[in-house]
Amino acid sequence: MFASALLFRPSFHNWYCWRNLLLRAFGAKVGRGVRVRPTVRVEIPWNLQIGDGVVVGDYAILYSLGKITIGPLAVVSQYAHLCAGTHDYTHPDFPLLTPPINIGEGAWVAADAFVGPGVTVGPRAVVAARATVVKDVPADVVVGGNPARVIKERAAKPE
């Protein structure tokens, strides 16, 4: 918390290498060319793996009580929340559960979306703004809503 408050957050917006260094110093696996904004919140960095070329937008929350893996070239937009922790509501003591989250290569979790524990977002999938994802998302689709449902296939434009 101190490192985040004193070293991570007050860094200049384009000091990506500095923030990547700090994340690595606390056990995160961070690829090349990663751009994590200074207002991002990371709960337990040693449970975080970020692939090459990933962008994590302002005020995103990476609540990595369980492992969070973000594949290469994925985007996690501003205010998105990846929540890899919950409680077993069937047990009287509500023990902590930490199912992992996997965001596939080239996927996009748009602004203010929520991705819950144990969810895999497939490669090149798009989670629409403000969507609530509680089940796995197949590759190459767009999902939206609460709970998120497939809206359409993601058709890539030719280059």
pLDDT for res 9: 78
pLDDT for res 72: 98
127 and 113 in contact (C-beta within 8 Å)? yes
- Residue 21, helix vs strand vs coil: helix
Of 13, 81, 87, 91, catalytic: 91
Query: Is the alpha carbon torsion for 70, 27, 114, 148 positive or negative?
Result: positive
pLDDT digits (tens, 9 = 90+) for 102-112: 999 999 999 99
* Four-point Cα dihedral 89, 91, 95, 96, nearest 10: -30
**Hey, what domains does the chain have and what are their CATH numbers?**
2-153 (2.160.10.10)
Q: What is the pTM of this model?
A: 0.94
pLDDT for res 158: 67
pLDDT for res 56: 98
Paired tokens of 9: 């957050």
Active site residue 13: no
pLDDT for res 8: 79
Question: Which parts of the chain have pLDDT scores under 50?
Answer: none
Residue 53: burial class (beta carbons within 10 Å; 0-12, 13-18, 19+): middle
- Residue 8, helix vs strand vs coil: helix
